[in-house]
């Protein structure tokens, strides 16, 4: 069964690794990018890139979905 995590539930962990996708952060976090710059999360849930191909690093832009489709060809 492939379920989307319920991020509104108070017992849900504040870091979730999505299979083949981003790392979801719930709450306040500071993310350091590859150049050492710090980025404060500003949304209730933020998606951090794990594929390394996002154009808006450190944040996810959905590129992983395209990469997965190309590798399926």
pLDDT of residue 11: 56
pTM: 0.72
pLDDT of residue 9: 56
Domains and CATH numbers, the chain: 15-72 (3.40.5)
- Which residue, 7, 16, 70, is CA-closest to 44? 7
What is the signed CA dihedral for 63, 56, 15, 39, rounded to 10 degrees?
A: 170
pLDDT of residue 7: 54
Mean pLDDT of the chain: 84
- pLDDT tens by residue, 3-34: 455 555 555 569 999 999 999 999 989 999 98
- pLDDT band at 69; cut points 50, 70, 90: confident
- Which residue, 50, 28, 54, is CA-closest to 41? 28
């Amino acid at each position: 069964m492939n379920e989307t995590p319920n991020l509104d539930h108070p017992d849900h962990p504040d870091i979730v690794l999505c299979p083949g996708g981003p790392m979801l952060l719930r709450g306040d976090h500071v993310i350091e990018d590859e150049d050492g710059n710090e980025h404060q999360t500003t949304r209730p849930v933020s998606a951090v890139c794990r594929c390394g191909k996002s154009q808006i690093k450190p944040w996810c832009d959905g590129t992983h979905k395209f990469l997965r489709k190309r590798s399926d060809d």
